[in-house]
Structures are given as C-alpha cells and as structure tokens.
Copies of this chain bind each other. A is one copy, B any other.
Amino acid sequence: MRIQTLAIVGVGLIGGSIGLAAKRRGIAERILGVGRRSTSLATAQELGAIDEGVLELLPAVRRAQVVVFCTPVDGIAEQILTAAPSCAPGTLLTDAGSTKAKIVRSVDGRLPQGVHFVGSHPLAGSEKQGAQHADVDLFQNRITVVTQTAQTDSAALERTASLWQALGSRVKILAPEAHDQALALTSHLPHLLAAALAGILPPEFNELTASGFRDTTRVAAGDPLLWTAIFEHNRTAVLEALSLLNGRMDQFRAALEASDWNALKDLLNQAKGIRDALGS
C-alpha cells in the first residue's frame, strides 16, 4: 500500500493515530488533515500526524487518492455524499465509524462512477479524545472490520483491507448489519452498562471505589455526544442486546433471592470461563 495523498477527515484520537501510523509505515507521501478548528489541525501537525491542515473538505478530497472519515457517526454519510462529486475517479473513501449499517446503506448506490466507499471500523480506541492521545500503535494487532454488501466494489474492498493491514491491523470482512449486531453486544451494551453503573454512584462513595469499579465504568468517560449518535444508529440491536443482558441479570437476581449459591457459583463460573478466554 502506497498512497500519494491521504486525507484524514477528523483528526482526533483515531484520525491522529491513522496519520501517525501511516507516516511511520511509509504508507502515504503526503497526509492532509481536514478539520473545523485550526487549533486541532495545528496540534495534529505538531505531533507529526498530518503534513498539512485544511479547513475545507472539498479542496482536500480533490487532492487525495484515499480519504478516511474519522468524524462522529452521525455526520459521516453526509460528508461522504458531499465529498464524492469532488473526488477524482479512482478515489477510495472509507471511514472509522463505530456503526456501519446506516452509514453504508445511506451511501450505497449514491456515489459518482469510479468513486467507491467501503465501510470500516477499527476495534481500537479509548474513552479519551483528541489528537494529543493519538497512538502510532493503536491498530497494531487489533481487528478492523471492513464491510461488504452486494454493491461493494471488490477492488475497493481489497484496497481498504490493504490499508488497514498496512496500518498494522488484522481485517475481518462482515456485512454492515452483522457488524452492528456484534458491536451492540461487545461495545455499545458495555457502554450503556458502564454509564448506568457510574450514574448511580453517590458522591460520598467515591473514595470507596477501587480498581473493580473503575475498570467496569471506564468507558462511561467517553463523549456523550459521540455515544448518543452511536446508540441512535444502532438502536434496535442495542435494545436486543439489552434484553439478553436483562435476562441474564434476572438469573443472578433469582439466585440471590433464593439464596441458591450453587446456581450463583455456576453463573460466575460460566462468566469466568468466557472472560478468561479473552485474555487481559
């Protein structure tokens, strides 16, 4: 993978990390960062994540062969549809959004001839925000989901997969809906849970929290605006995952209410087996 000009739209934690990794690995000759605030662009440039900051989308995408949208999920589809008519034929557009079906289905079939979009989601990140938290190794050995639909151009799919592999990631190809169903359970539901748990902590108990509470609620520090948009995109799958979890929590509650310690131990054993298999 060797790109003459790579444009990164949104240079926060993810966009900044893509820039750093693309530089370090010699993937792009020139990296343009597109953002609305010149201070963020200046930070990204000082960190070496981009070569040049650009405040306007269209002039940037005109110069790029590959554009990666790293903006909040509720803006990505519109930005792609806005950018595409300005792109040269052969331009590859992809993204790093946490949801895929709404974005991919909004774009599918609506791009000019020769301009392709393939959805992506690197399963890496943090509750932190901003290019100042960018990490050159963020994608190293992580999975990036790349989406495929009946409309997906196979050459564009391959280029997208190659891009993420070049950035250090392993690639898994899924339908957008399969991605969203899985992530509802592996990412969006944990966020909801963490936020529910953090939300009921009375301030006088703060000093009585230890690493267990902090680990379990860490993601609740994520940006509420970004996460509201994710929940809006993936509402149905999250509600299904929540029902599944509520059923499981009812089993815990029933065991506690009945003082059925064998049943409780079995539930804890199953959970430990599954968690141990994930590693640290």
Q: Are B211 and A190 neighbours in the complex by a CB distance under 8 Å? A: no
Q: How many copies does the complex hold?
A: 2
Q: Are A183 and B200 neighbours in the complex by a CB distance under 8 Å? A: no
Shortest CB–CB separation between residue A62 and chain B, in angstroms?
Answer: 34
Contacts of A249 in B (CB 8 A): 192-193, 196, 242, 246
Q: Give residues 5-19 of A contacting B (CB, 8 Å).
A: none
Q: How far is B124's CA from A125's CA once the two chains are assembled, in angstroms? A: 27
Place the interface of chain A in its size category.
35 or more
Contacts of A239 in B (CB 8 A): 253, 256-257
Knowing A216-B218, A248-B200 are in contact, say whether A278-B235 is a contact too (CB < 8 A). Answer: no
Contacts of A191 in B (CB 8 A): 212
Q: Give residues 241-280 of A contacting B (CB, 8 Å).
A: 242, 244-246, 248-249, 252-253, 256-257, 259, 261, 264-265, 267-272, 274-278, 280
- Please tell me which one of the listed residues B125, B186, B214, B219 contacts residue A280 in the complex, with CB atoms under 8 A apart: B214
A228-242 interface mask toward B, CB cutoff 8 Å, 1 = contact, 0 = none? 100110010011001
Q: Are B214 and A278 neighbours in the complex by a CB distance under 8 Å? A: yes
Contacts of A182 in B (CB 8 A): 205, 208
Knowing A186-B213, A200-B185 are in contact, say whether A278-B206 is a contact too (CB < 8 A). Answer: yes
Q: Which residue of B lies closest to A247 (CB)?
A: B200
Q: How far is B252's CA from A195's CA once the two chains are assembled, in angstroms? A: 9
A111 at the binding interface (Cβ < 8 Å): no
A143 at the binding interface (Cβ < 8 Å): yes
Contacts of A209 in B (CB 8 A): 123, 186-187, 278
A225 at the binding interface (Cβ < 8 Å): yes
Q: How far is B243's CA from A253's CA once the two chains are assembled, in angstroms? A: 9
Q: Which residue of B lies closest to A276 (CB)?
A: B221
Contacts of A275 in B (CB 8 A): 194, 198, 217-218, 220-221
A142 at the binding interface (Cβ < 8 Å): yes
Q: How far is B200's CA from A246's CA once the two chains are assembled, in angstroms? A: 10
The 6 closest A-B pairs by CB, nearest first: A195-B271, A224-B268, A190-B216, A123-B210, A198-B271, A199-B271
